[in-house]
Amino acid sequence: MGFAAVVVTGCGVVSPLGNDVETFWKSLCEGKSGVRPISRFDVSGLPVRIGAQAEEPDFGETVPRKELARLPRFARYALWAAMKAREAAGLGEGCGLDPKRAGAMIGSGLGGMEVFDAASRALRERGPDRVSPFFIPNAIANCASGAVSLRFGWRGPNWSAVSACATGNHNIVCAADQIRAGRADVMLAGAAEEGVCPVALAGFSALRALSARNDDPERASRPFDRDRDGFVLGEGAAVLVLEREDHARARGARILGRLAGCGTGADAWHPVAPDPEGVGAEEAMRLALREAGIGPGEVGLVSAHGTSTPLGDLAEARAIRRLFRGERPRVNAAKSMLGHALAAGSALEAVACVLSLRDGILHPNPTLETPDPEIDLDLVGREAVREPVRFVLSNAFGFGGHNSSLLFARV
């Protein structure tokens, strides 16, 4: 029995550029930045004071306030994105979907960081009796998938892959595998992160991974630019509706794109630094193309991991150049506008890839002012490009050497 084809029939987002997919996409295409001075908490004692904050979604009367209050911020982001994705796919009440064949895989790299922080302070300052009974269920990274399942009553495959900044891609891979293996007809897949919080900002600052352009936030995240100095901490959520193609067509769903191939692997190199030659990254891309049965010359766009770190961008560029050799696909990096939303970053970028295929638009790299001569890629410039493409490759690489690449195809 052959594997079932998997298509995308809906998307939902929470992002620094808005919590509506079309607003998010329009802002990306216009080169708008979501990076700002952090306003959610006091940053006066921190070396980095900028980030790409998402706005809290307004659920109105759709979800009881008591239910929302019990969820950590990243799970609220995930629930909003999942609700919007399901709505966009036409999978609301009365659609006839078998709940035993519908599932969710929505991951998080950090989980409930704010919940951890609050529980630690309560334990230290007031004793164990003041630790919330919701601490454990709200801190764990699989909280988002569980919350979505509870809200929708979907009883199919439900868990979360956790692989740092590759988490979004890996959850999409795992969800697609459930459909391909015949275990589900529909899966919600993606990731959520509440990354802009004091402990995360302090931790990444200690690693010296962040840009310190506090006085120039909109130009701080500079993938592939000669003057890049680190990434900007971001946050948000993105969820895609993955569906068996024949199931989608039978119900008359609008198909946005097809997940044509997936590639995963590991650097086996260093806990946080990439393999400087990008060997593992190259292999992940190669595997995605092999699964789809296409050659490098058929890829029109590479949506790069492109974090704006000196080592990471160069390693990825080397991997792309080796894989494509004489071919020159266009390359863009959404983190130039969204910052690095950690686990949610690759899920947000997957949504952007699907919309690129839908509209034939390649979003710009608006902070690319002086391309690093060592990069040597065909980078999209500071303006969007109208260029229909058949295949888009989306990369995500995480601390621990976790590599992933997804290939989306126009339908």
* Catalytic residue numbers, as ranges: 165, 305, 340
Give the Cα separation of 57 and 39 in Å (integer).
17
90 contacts 253 by C-beta, under 8 angstroms? yes
Helix segments in 226-384, DSSP class H = 245-250, 279-292, 310-324, 335-338, 343-359
Q: What is the DSSP string of 185-236?
A: SEEEEEEEE---SHHHHHHHHHTT-B---TT-GGGT--TTBTT---B-BB-E
Rounded Cα gap, residues 33 and 408, in angstroms: 25
Instruction: Please give the structure tokens belonging to residue 121.
Output: 């302070």
Give the sign of the dihedral formed by CA 341, CA 344, CA 346, CA 347: negative
CA distance 14 to 16: 7
Of 241, 219, 247, 166, nearest in space to 339 by CA: 219
Quick one: how many helices (H) and strands (E) in the chain?
13, 14
CA atoms within 13 A on the CB side of 74: 35
